[in-house]
């Protein structure tokens, strides 16, 4: 996987990578990560990716991270792991 660029954001660590004919957007928050893959053929250039990460999209990403944490905590409690 080839690193293309970091995409600055105050809340998340966002990296853009290229691999196997796809651009991969990795968004990290604490112990959690969301990954989005898009074919290189679907984008004219990787500079279009930061504009796609608009406020509405990133609000959904934040909500999903919260859901991931809730799910993780719940399974830990159900299985006496925490």
pLDDT tens by residue, 33-58: 999 999 999 988 778 889 999 999 99
Is pTM beyond 0.75 here?
A: yes
Please tell me the predicted confidence (pLDDT) of residue 43.
Answer: 85
Please tell me the predicted confidence (pLDDT) of residue 24.
Answer: 96
Q: For the chain, what is the domain count?
A: 1
Rounded Cα gap, residues 37 and 60, in angstroms: 17
Tens of pLDDT, residues 2-23: 999 999 999 999 999 999 999 9
pLDDT-derived band at 70 (thresholds 50, 70, 90) equals: very high
Containing domain of residue 56, as a range? 2-78
Secondary structure of the chain as H, E, C letters: CEEEEEECCCCCEEEEEEECCEEEEEEEECCEEEEEEEEHHHCCCHHHHHHHCCHHHHHHHHHHHHHHHHHHHHHHHHCCCC
- Inter-residue contact 44 to 52 (CB < 8 Å): no
């Amino acid at each position: 996987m080839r690193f293309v660029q970091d995409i600055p954001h105050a809340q998340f660590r966002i990296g853009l990578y290229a691999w196997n004919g796809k651009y991969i957007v990795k968004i990290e928050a604490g112990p959690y990560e969301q990954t989005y893959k898009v074919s290189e053929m679907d984008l004219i250039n990787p500079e279009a990716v930061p504009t796609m990460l608009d406020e509405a999209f990133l609000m959904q990403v934040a909500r999903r991270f919260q859901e991931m944490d809730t799910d993780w905590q719940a399974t830990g409690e159900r299985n006496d792991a925490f």
